[in-house]
Structure 1
């Protein structure tokens, strides 16, 4: 079952875009970045993001030896996850 990510929790004042996300969330759920990465590695359709009617999958990439979450290239927004509102 795919979970739709509608918000994120960012590390405060972190300048590296590959290390900013601390957690992802949606309606009544929240997963740490570590849990979300494990979920995506286990199931490629674990999460998605919808922005202005376009839905893209969340994938795992590696930068400087560290895994991080990002969305597939949708030719729309460069940082679909980072543009989501903060989870309250």
Structure 2
């Protein structure tokens, strides 16, 4: 029997410096109302995606894009959406999580 995969739409992000495009995202979040809001740290999101127990995606401008884990040359990992020519930075374009 395989692992269950939880699928969540990311609707907001949290960064230390919102204006700096090179600052690593610290957390992602979503939900439709204050009662259903959720956030998780970058490390939790990476661990879940890599384990296959979590699938995150964005839905921006009519485009659904899966979020993937990417490794930098120095070994640090970060999240980004799969390549999309129409909305290349749709993860970074999301509003700040409350």
Which category of TM-score, normalised to the shorter sequence, fits these structures? 0.7 to 0.9
Residue by residue over 1:3-28, the C-alpha shift from the partner in whole angstroms, topping out at 9 and shown as x without a partner, is 000000011267462x4200000011
Larger radius of gyration: 2
Picking from 51, 62, 74, the partner of 2:84 is 74
Task: Name the SS for the 1:41 alignment partner.
Answer: helix
Segments of 4+ in structure 1 off by > 4 A? Answer: none
Following the alignment from structure 2 to structure 1, what is the Cα–Cα distance between the partners of residues 68 and 53?
7
Deviation track 1:18-44 (CA, whole Å, cap 9, x = no partner) reads: x42000000111000000001111128
Out of 47, 56, 70, the residue aligned to residue 47 of structure 1 is 56
Structure 2's unaligned 5+ residue stretches are 1-5, 32-36
Gaps of 5+ in 1: none
Aligned residue pair count: 87
The 1:13/1:66 distance shift into structure 2, 3 A limit, reads same
Q: Contact 2:12–2:97 (CA<8 Å) still a contact in 1? A: yes
TM-score norm. by structure 1 comes to 0.87
